Structure formats: structure tokens, C-alpha cells
Amino acid sequence: MVISHPPPYQPDWALFADLDGTLVDFSPDPDQVKASPELNTLLARLYHASCGALVLVSGRSIASLERVVALNGIAVSGQHGVERRRVDGTLEVSHEIPSARLATLQRDLEAFCADHPGLLLEKKGVTMPAST
């Protein structure tokens, strides 16, 4: 269902919206997901109606979110909150995993996925979920 007109914004509201499985359908290939023009228009309208109190949250990285949806200044939380970008563009990363540890983990997960056909390893940064 697409809402053509958002409800009137109340000053004490903030809107948090998840992307995959909520605003867009899940896909066997997450890199192929694109927001519809209607969704981009709706998000822009919600952003303006809420005076900027709109946040997109996702397990995706912020870079991946930018490829899917027109953010146009919308605050975002990526990688399940590991990275956050405010409306003013300030980027915060809650923690980094040492690159050697991350590389070892990635190799192990790639080997596991190779041994289990149908699994896809999504490399999102410090998060790497495997899905079918």
C-alpha cells in the first residue's frame, strides 16, 4: 500500500524506516535493489513534512543505501547502527574491527559459503551476513 499523503507532522514525532523488506522487497541479489521513483518522492515528502526528523535504518552500509534510494539529506543508520550519518552530513562509526581480523573472518565466511551452494555473502563493511 502506498500512502499518497503523509499525515500532518507533529513536533514531537521522529520517523524511523527500515529499507529492505519494509520499503523495498527483499531480493536474491541485494545489489540489484532500486527504490521506485514513487518511494523516493514519498521519502522526500516525509522528510519535509517531519522537518528533517526522518531516519532510514538498514543492515546495509550507508554507501549501499545511497545506491538504492535518493537520500537527499535524510539521516541514515547503516550496518545495524555501526555507522550513522546525521542530516548535517556528519558521519559517526561506533567501532572498527582491525583489518587483519576482518580479512581472516571474510576468508572463512567465503570458504563456508563456497561449501554451501545457495549462500550469498554480503560484504557490507564490518558486517557480513550470509543469506540464501
Catalytic residue set: 18
Q: Give the whole-angstrom CA distance, residue 38 versus residue 124.
A: 26
For residues 82 and 43, the answer to whether their CB atoms sit within 8 Å is no
> Cell 549501499 maps to which residue?
64
Q: What length is written for the chain?
A: 132
Residues forming a β-bridge with 93: 83
Sign of CA dihedral 68, 69, 73, 75: negative
Quick one: cell of 37? 521513483
Residues 6+ apart with CB under 8 A from 132: 118, 119, 120
